[in-house]
Amino acid sequence: MDFKTWINEKIKNVEVYLSSATGAKDNPQALIYEAMNYSLLSGGKRLRPVLLLAAYELFRNDEDTALPFACAMEMIHTYSLIHDDLPAMDNDDYRRGRLSNHKKFGEAAAILAGDGLLNKAFETGLKAAINGGTDYEKALRALYEIAKSSGSEGMIGGQVVDMFGHEKISSLEDLKYMYSLKTGAIIKSSVAAGAMLGGANDEQVAAIEEFAEKIGLAFQIEDDILDVTGTLEKLGKATGSDAANHKTTYLTYVSVEEARRQAEILTDEATKRLDIFGEKAFYLKELARYLTSRDH
């Protein structure tokens, strides 16, 4: 199967699972499902769930076992976007080419929809761990990785530095620390959780985490480049916002050309770490190249 066919199949499976994942019912709180699904089913790139599935496939072929955990990653990612867009945070009116959650449903519902998706991520993972085809300890370890990566030592911590600590970012190292939390942590836990669920040993998990750290940084560098060179049409959100907000980015320190070069080096180093998996790593390697050379 070529990469394009492979990734489209993975995305389709994720979309199918997500479409019924909130458990939406016709009950007095139906608005919460509507607000959760508005953002969850708005055609994101589904990178994190696909990364989890690709890492799982290094070890096992029964994708359905990993699918709920993969979709939990997308719920966490989506909740973070909803809360990031709030007026008190980045105050963004658009996301993925349409109104952001709070512009559509109001601030209160958007806060609750974000809370609901974060909660639903763990609900989904725990339910799968109880019912699913993997052993309890593996599932617990994978869920714990996910929880750590999305919390105050991970994504939320990175968001705090991004919101309140920009004046303290005085070097590329400081910036990389912030990126490693804000976007890197859940990219890393996506592949780590996939590998753990699949039954990876410690050495294999370490290789895959190193892969993910490099890919995560390359991905973020690409994001900074796109904010300068991208178009509203392709990104579905405003460009030039980093400069307008006087935000420190990778391009504060290096040129677009140099940034692009570094992202390429990181991607090469990352994919080399997967050589221990032989041909099985084909899709995960292709995925790394796809992530770090995107135009949206």
Residues binding a copy of itself (CB under 8 A): 22-23, 27-29, 31-33, 36, 79, 83, 86, 88-89, 106-109, 111-112, 114-116, 118-120, 122-123, 126-127, 129-130, 136-137, 139-141, 143-144, 147-148, 150-153, 156-161, 163-165, 168, 174, 177-178, 181
Q: Given the complex with a copy of itself, which of 18 and 270 has the nearer CB atom?
A: 18
Q: Given the complex with a copy of itself, which of 38 and 283 has the nearer CB atom?
A: 38
Q: Given the complex with a copy of itself, which of 3 and 122 has the nearer CB atom?
A: 122
Find the shortest distance in angstroms from Cβ 32 to a copy of itself.
4
Find the shortest distance in angstroms from Cβ 254 to a copy of itself.
21
Find the shortest distance in angstroms from Cβ 126 to a copy of itself.
4
Helix (H) / strand (E) containing 94: strand 94-95
Q: Given the complex with a copy of itself, which of 23 and 43 has the nearer CB atom?
A: 23
Find the shortest distance in angstroms from Cβ 22 to a copy of itself.
7
Residues, the chain: 296
Q: How far is 34 from 290, CA to CA, in rounded Å?
A: 32
Torsion, Cα 192 198 199 203, to 10 degrees, reads -40
In 3D, which of 291, 41, 25 has the Cα closest to residue 184? 291
Q: Given the complex with a copy of itself, which of 188 and 260 has the nearer CB atom?
A: 188
Pairing of strands 98-99, 94-95: antiparallel
Find the shortest distance in angstroms from Cβ 225 to a copy of itself.
24
Find the shortest distance in angstroms from Cβ 129 to a copy of itself.
5
Cβ atoms of residues 62 and 133 within 8 Å: yes
**Nearby residues of 124 by Cβ (< 8 Å), 6 or more positions away:** 21, 68, 69, 71, 72, 75
Q: How far is 143 from 73, CA to CA, in rounded Å?
A: 10
Q: Given the complex with a copy of itself, which of 151 and 236 has the nearer CB atom?
A: 151
Q: How far is 82 from 36, CA to CA, in rounded Å?
A: 9
* C-alpha to C-alpha distances, 179 to 57, 184, 291, nearest whole angstrom: 27, 6, 16
